[in-house]
Amino acid sequence: MPAKGEAIRSGGVKIYAIIEQGGKQYKVTPKQTIEVERLDKPEGESVEMGNVLFIGGEGDILVGNPNIKGAKITATSLGEVKGDKVTVFKYKSKIRYHKKQGHRQIHTRLLINGIIKPGD
């Protein structure tokens, strides 16, 4: 696994993309694993994402307005996982009110297979 922010060589060329999924943006490279908002995809199923905002590499840059038409990311679902626990604690002084709640968001883990440029 590469260090954070480091691109993996794909066919002799470093390539990466910035995608939008679930209201968040992710910088992805081939063979990288990411966790996104919960998708209704079982483990092992193929996923295609078309919200590609930017594709970069060695001297080759494509910028979308807002998306790049014809570009997509292919990925494989690795199943669902629970995120970190978030503790919510409400308290009001002098009136003996306190309330503690916990929450764990469910995410889908994806393995990025490839970045497809328009026309490829």
User: DSSP per residue over 54-76, as a string?
Assistant: EEEESS-EEE-SSS-TT-EEEEE
Q: How confident is the model at residue 6 (pLDDT cuts 50, 70, 90)?
A: low
Kindly report the average pLDDT of the chain as a whole number.
89
Q: Cα(8)–Cα(62) distance, rounded to whole angstroms? A: 18
23 vs 3, which has greater pLDDT? 23
* Domain boundaries along the sequence of the chain: 9-116
CA atoms within 13 A on the CB side of 60: 10
Mean pLDDT of 24-48: 94
Place of tokens 């003996």: 96
DSSP state, 109?
E
CB-side neighbour CA atoms (13 Å) of 88: 5
pLDDT confidence tier of residue 1, bands split at 50, 70 and 90: very low
Residue 114 confidence (pLDDT) = 92
CA 50 to chain CA centroid, nearest Å: 12
Whether the CB-CB separation of 72 and 51 falls below 8 Å is answered with: no
Confidence label for 4 from pLDDT (cuts 50, 70 and 90): low
**C-alpha dihedral sign at 61, 64, 68, 69:** negative
Report the pLDDT averaged over residues 33-60. 92
Average pLDDT over residues 6-16: 63
